[in-house]
Structure 1
Amino acid sequence: MKSIRIEDYMNKHPVTFTIDMSVAEASEKLIDSPQNGGPVLDVYQRVIGFLSEQECLIHLLEDTYLSEPHATVADMMRTDVLTVGCENSVVDLAQQMTKNKPKLYPVVDENKRLLGIITRSDILKAINIHLRSFYQKGHGRLV
C-alpha cells in the first residue's frame, strides 16, 4: 500500500490565486469551486503562499466594516505552506495529515512549481480503493 502515489489521486487543475488578486475575486473563485483554499502562485507557477476560506472571510468582514475593499491576496495569504511531491506515498501523507492541520496540500515539483493539489478526501478515496481491491482479491474479508 506504500506504493500508492499522490500523482495518481491529485487534482491536476485546482483553483489557484495570484498575489495581486482582490479579496472579492479570490472569494468568488473559492465559492465557485469545491476547494476550501488554494495555492498562491508567482509568475513562474511556483507556490509562494496559500489562501483559505477563513482568510477570505476575515478580510471580507474587515472590508464590510470599512465600507471599502482594499485587501489583496498578498495581504491575506499564508507563506508557511506545507507541500508534497507527486511521487510521495498516499499512506505517508495520510499519516502526516493525522498530525498536521492542512486539509489540502499543494503538490509541487523540485522547483516548487505547482503540479496539482491533494485533499484529505482524495487520500480517503485512494486508501479505500486499495483496501477494497485487496479484499476483493481474496486477501481478507471486507466488513
Structure 2
Amino acid sequence: MYKFLEQIVADYMTRKPRTVGRDTTMRELGELFKTQDFNAYPAIDGEQVLGIVSKLDYLSCFVFSAARMSPRYPDLMQRTVADVMSSEFIYVAPDTRLTRVLELMVNYRLRSVPVLDADQRLAGIISREDVIHAVQDCT
C-alpha cells in the first residue's frame, strides 16, 4: 500500500477526455449522458475550461416548485450547458498525488476531477475508477 502514496494523477488519468461546449443544448447533453457512461463533462471554450456539467446539473433543469413554474419542454431542451454548469469547480494538476485526489473525492463526493496543466488548459480527467485501478495496482 505504500506504493500508492507515491502515485500521481498523470499515471492514471484519461488524457483526452470527452468535453462539451458552452452552447451544447440540454437535448444534446441528455443524449450524451444516455449513450456514454460519464457522470460529468468538462465544459470548454477553445482550450479554456469554463466549468463542469454533471448529470445532476442536467436533472436540475427538471426540478419544479411553486416558486419555479414549469417551462415548456422544448424550451428546457434549448437551454445550454452555460446555463446549468458549475463554473466553480475543483481541479488537480498532473503531478498531484493520488492520495490528495482520493481525499478530495471523498470529502466533496466527486465522481471525477478535471486535470489542468500549468497553463490552466485541460490535460485530462481522473475518475473514481482510475483511483480504484491505482489502489488495486499498488496492493
Instruction: Tell me if both proteins adopt one fold, taking TM over 0.5 as the criterion.
Output: yes
TM-score when normalising by structure 1? 0.81
Alpha-carbon deviation of 1:28? 1.4
Corresponding residue pairs, total: 129
Aligned counterpart in structure 2 of residue 26 of structure 1, from 20, 25, 29: 29
Q: Structure 2: which 5+ residue stretches go unaligned?
A: 65-69
In the alignment, structure 1 residue 66 sits paired with structure 2 residue 72: yes
Question: How far is the alpha carbon of 1:15 from its aligned partner?
Answer: 1.8
Q: 1:86, 1:107 → 2: CA distance?
A: 6
Pairing of 1:18-57 with structure 2 (within 5 A)? 18-43=21-46, 45-57=47-59
Number of the residue aligned with 1:138:
none
* 1:134 aligned partner: none
Task: Report the equivalent of 2:67.
Answer: none
8 Å CA contact 1:23, 1:60 repeated in 2: no
CA contact (8 A) 2:9 2:95 kept: yes
Question: What's 2:9 paired with?
Answer: 6
1:114 equivalent in alignment to 2:116: no
Q: Which runs of 4+ in 1 moved over 6 A?
A: none
Measure how far apart 1:127 and its partner are.
1.2
AA aligned opposite 2:12: Y
Local SS of the residue matching 1:41: strand
Higher relative contact order (CA 8 A, sep 6+): 2
Provide the alpha-carbon RMSD of the alignment.
Answer: 1.8
Q: How much has 1:8 moved relative to structure 2?
A: 1.2
Q: Which residue of 2 is the match for residue 96 of structure 1? A: 104
- Cα offset, 1:126, TM superposition: 0.3
Identity %: 26
Question: Structure 1: any 5+ residue segments left out of the alignment?
Answer: 132-143
What SS is found at the alignment partner of 1:99?
Answer: helix
- Report the secondary structure of 2:138's partner residue: helix
1:93 Cα offset (Å): 1.3
For 2:82 and 2:59, the matched residues in 1 are separated by 15
Q: How many Å separate the matches in 1 of 2:92 and 2:86?
A: 17
